[in-house]
Structure 1
């Protein structure tokens, strides 16, 4: 059985929506549970983690409402204004929601690469640690040194690097030095035992028509550094639809990892998401 560790829902013009914009035609519409079930046919999907897509409390509240009414959604990664004076109180409130598992500030869009380490954010980070919530890092490779500092400052904070820090796959051949730098930064960040990574969002870092084989060295490096115990598969649906289908991305990764022992692929496709996000089994025991 498969747990999708990273996907989204959104409603155009509602719940604080700002992205996607109308220029992204294939994904500029509402996406919800019925769409997910339709597109994941044949994947043996047993549960998912839905991740915020808007920097707005309304988006998080809506996702929690959706999750509360459907057992397919095992957890929600929401958003909180970590600069707000009441950030710690908001995080404490979110922590009381059974399916809220973590938060994701949208660091990739911020001008300051070291934004997360400024003192004013500390109360929010301390609240996350206190309430045992996780931290999804939506970043580019240039942010990895800041996340490294974050991981060392808060060793009790569970951190996951979304989309492998968006490696420079499209520029693999034209700018090989960027790939070398990404590899070095990934190697460094993976030394922190509280940092994990998602095998997600990689196809949208490729050029149109670029062969899928250009992607695998990046996926393999993530696997080499984080190992099968700290890497989890995610669809990044519906963003993945900009390049290919949900089922296609799943099949490609599953096929690429087919030589691994079953217990290792089970971790990547299911168990690690349960462990990292502290998903409880039907008996109420944390796996």
Structure 2
């Protein structure tokens, strides 16, 4: 379950973005072929102006490569003024290796006195994730939950969503963050399956959802699906409520279809249609602040 509510004014948090260094742009298997816009460096200076224009005061920087050196890169960004937390890579399918890596990673982050590691993720694509609900993985998830770490996951298939539900029920103290709206469909024929998955996930009080659009949609859409984004955001908010939904840009991946401001404003506008004004601060930062136990909530 999420930590107890902070009485300070919540930050405005972009709960999901990436940074890629100029010195070594990583190869990323999920990148669509022929999309040169993603095959370049994206550094903090490239994002700062967009954050300021959107009124975003803090962010969560996310892993995008399944490799140990990815965490070195993420830690190098931890001292950036706008970074409040890091969701690091962890080989979650290998609990023993994962424990050692996480222990070392958190120690390094603590020594740096910069943004902490607040969650773990590995890329799954469309692969089965049955490993996540086996006994050894559940024991590891239980340990990570006790250490205050969330599990970020991008389920894009019905089977993956079902596995996430099994993990949520088995480890109710684990805070699970479903990225990118749980991968909504672009065709009507898949809508019922997505709705059923959302309903099952929403029945688990330890599951929250990021209101962002993932590469599975961005790479297939012919253009920025503004009407669909509004419909998807409303559907998720109606099921999860503002206290389990968090705004996110998925920058720079979202540049496949639109700019930062358009993506951020689309989420905020859709939220305003279904969320009372007093609860909008949850969607725009309060939920992320609580769910990730981000530091600095009283600094603004």
| Secondary structure in 2 matching 1:103 | strand
Equivalent residue number for residue 51 of structure 2 = 40
Classify 1:208/1:41 alpha carbon distance in 2 versus 1 (closer, same or farther; 3 Å).
farther
Picking from 162, 187, 192, the partner of 1:180 is 192
Equivalent residue number for residue 226 of structure 2 = 212
Count of matched residue positions in the alignment of Structure 1 and Structure 2: 277
Picking from 256, 280, 283, the partner of 1:265 is 280
Equivalent residue number for residue 153 of structure 2 = 137
Check if 1:126 corresponds to 2:142.
yes
**Kept in 2: contact 1:46–1:72 (CA 8 A):** yes
Higher RCO structure, 1 or 2 (CA under 8 Å, sep 6+): 2
**Kept in 2: contact 1:167–1:179 (CA 8 A):** yes
Equivalent residue number for residue 259 of structure 2 = 245
Check if 1:28 corresponds to 2:44.
no
Equivalent residue number for residue 8 of structure 2 = none
What's the offset of the Cα at 1:230?
0.2
Classify 1:144/1:84 alpha carbon distance in 2 versus 1 (closer, same or farther; 3 Å).
closer
Runs of 4+ aligned structure 1 residues displaced above 6 Å come to none
Equivalent residue number for residue 58 of structure 1 = 69
Equivalent residue number for residue 184 of structure 2 = 167
**Kept in 2: contact 1:15–1:62 (CA 8 A):** no
What's the offset of the Cα at 1:206?
5.9
What's the offset of the Cα at 1:81?
1.6
**Kept in 2: contact 1:11–1:17 (CA 8 A):** no
Equivalent residue number for residue 277 of structure 1 = 292
Classify 1:113/1:12 alpha carbon distance in 2 versus 1 (closer, same or farther; 3 Å).
farther
What's the offset of the Cα at 1:21?
6.4
Deviations 1:166-193 (A, max 9, x none): 111x213xx2xx1011101101111111
**Kept in 1: contact 2:247–2:268 (CA 8 A):** no
Classify 1:55/1:208 alpha carbon distance in 2 versus 1 (closer, same or farther; 3 Å).
same
Equivalent residue number for residue 156 of structure 1 = 173
Superposition CA RMSD, Å: 2.3
Classify 1:23/1:209 alpha carbon distance in 2 versus 1 (closer, same or farther; 3 Å).
closer
Equivalent residue number for residue 4 of structure 1 = 14
Classify 1:126/1:12 alpha carbon distance in 2 versus 1 (closer, same or farther; 3 Å).
farther
Quick one: distance in 2 between partners of 1:15 and 1:124? 31
Classify 1:23/1:206 alpha carbon distance in 2 versus 1 (closer, same or farther; 3 Å).
closer
What's the offset of the Cα at 1:74?
0.1
Per the normalisation by structure 2, the TM-score is 0.84
